[in-house]
Amino acid sequence: MEYRISRRGLLQGAAGVAATGALSGCAMGGSGSNAAAKGETSANNPLGVKEDAPLEVVIFNGGFGEEYARAHEAMYRERYPKAEIKHSATQKIAETLQPRFVAGDPPDVVDNSGGSQIDFNGLVSQGALADLGELLDAPSLDDPSRKVRDTLLPGIVDVGTYDGKFLALNYAYSAYGVWYSQKLFEARGWEYPKTWDGMIALCKKIKAAGIAPWTYPGVHARYMSWPILTAAGKLGGLDVIKAIDNLEPGAWQHDAVKAAAEAYYQLAVDGYLQPGAEGMDHVQSQTEWCRGHAAFVSCGSWLENEQKPVTPPDFRMAVAPTPSLTTSDKMPFGAFRGTGSEPFIVPAKGENVRGGLEYLRVMLSRKAAADFTGKVSSLTAVAGATDGVKLSGGLTSVTALIDASQGGAFTWLYSTYYRKLERERVNAATLELLTKRITAAQWCDQVQRSADEFARDPAVKKYKRA
């Protein structure tokens, strides 16, 4: 069976509270001068880029780093050698760029990702983003007879569309799952479990061997809400996830969600979580995992690149789907959470909107996409871009996960529609769950109360997932 979804507006990450409030509360100024940065259109310049117009690119310096962008910038410079390119990178996107959006002086291209992402709903409501529809209809660099939209993986356009406009290019494709070391498992004679009963049985063996079965980032405990919701979706079907996205009453108290929360609560009750994990951030917990102090960690497919500096050469990291909770789950074991990520935007009031669109067109060439994959061990939005590319061990595992699912990828949107709900409320509740300060039933009730608050708040823009 295939579990494909209709998605719109999905972006990864969330802005901090200050960033969210500031952008949504302040009108953006400045008129921009992008009209001046426009050249003549031609077969070789379909978007009308002014060849000597400067281009400013700001990259989120997170799990993918920033070096991949320098290669993309070099490709842009090859096409427009007269253009000066200003490159900068930061982990504090909102703190760095929020004032510039408000002042009407934003960069031309922004990788709006990470924990300090600028609130996307605020950007949309303020009209701060250029419509990327023209990019989709432009000829691709690889084959001018094909439009850019025809070179993208299914769902990528839906994932960046708000209210009928394509506003964000989610350049990376992220698969989420449970990660482990193939070297460790082979050495110990362990096999990854397909059922939750099998997971608990294996955790008992792992603990007996002196290794923590699971670690997690307590600072970002929402990482463990991902397998909970994935398991709930697989058990109860996609409608369970849609109800959560649509802020429906009782959605978080659905039997499938309760069963999934109970399963992962069992890890805490039985002592299968690494002691001290509640105080770790994501890098610290992942480093503990890389050092062999824990067998499992929940993460997305950026994990391999993020942990490259500390991963032993023979570690052989691999990813697998969350185990099935029952023998009657509505989705098969191979179903997993997968979606576009790493959202790139072109600010509407940038000085060089034409150049911003062209920069994204360059990124969507096979050469640029293959270079990205080779540098950061991640798939991209470009279909077929890994053909002939030698993949790393972790990425090979990701592609095997995707192939084995036979189209069974799904995701949720609530964390994009209502970022504070995940980043603050679900994050806090999940830490309390994993430290046994609340039960699974109380976790469901606590998150539901938070979701109900968002549903009642007239200041919160509501989105409907079909």
Q: Name the domain count of the chain.
A: 2
Residues with Cβ within 8 Å of 79's Cβ and at least 6 positions away in sequence, in order, are 358, 362
Length of the chain: 466
- 274 and 348 co-located in one domain: no
**pTM exceeds 0.85:** no
Residue 456 lies in a domain: no
> Are 257 and 232 a contacting pair, CB within 8 Å?
yes
- 209 and 284 co-located in one domain: yes
- 62 and 204 co-located in one domain: no
Residue 1 lies in a domain: no
- 206 and 260 co-located in one domain: yes
φ, ψ for residue 344, nearest 5 deg: -105, 135
Residue 395 lies in a domain: no
- Helix, strand, coil % in the chain, rounded to nearest 5: 45, 15, 40
**Residues 16, 254: Cα–Cα separation, whole Å:** 29
- 348 and 323 co-located in one domain: no
- 143 and 232 co-located in one domain: no
Residue 8 lies in a domain: no
Residue 205 lies in a domain: yes
- 227 and 201 co-located in one domain: yes
- 135 and 35 co-located in one domain: yes
- 107 and 214 co-located in one domain: no
Residue 461 lies in a domain: no
The predicted pLDDT at position 5 comes to: 25
- Beta-strand runs (E) in 228-306: 294-300
- 162 and 49 co-located in one domain: yes
Residue 46 lies in a domain: yes
**3-class DSSP assignment, residue 388:** coil
- 129 and 74 co-located in one domain: yes
- 85-90 and 55-60 strand pairing: parallel
The predicted pLDDT at position 176 comes to: 95
- 197 and 325 co-located in one domain: yes
The predicted pLDDT at position 179 comes to: 98
**Residues 309, 315: Cα–Cα separation, whole Å:** 12
Angle at 35 between CA 32 and CA 36, to 5 degrees: 95
The predicted pLDDT at position 6 comes to: 28
Given 390, 405, 426, the domain boundary residue is 390
Residue ranges of the chain with per-residue pLDDT less than 50: 1-22, 24-25, 30-35
The predicted pLDDT at position 359 comes to: 98
Taking alpha carbons only, the member of 69, 12, 60, 14 closest to residue 299 is: 12
Taking alpha carbons only, the member of 127, 109, 105, 132 closest to residue 32 is: 105
Give the other-Cβ count within 10 Å of 146's Cβ: 11
Range of the domain at 319: 175-338+413-447
Residue 125 maps to which CATH number?
A: 3.40.190.10
Cα dist from 402 to 38, 172, 182, 222, 339, whole Å: 41, 14, 18, 23, 11
Residue 285 lies in a domain: yes
The predicted pLDDT at position 164 comes to: 79
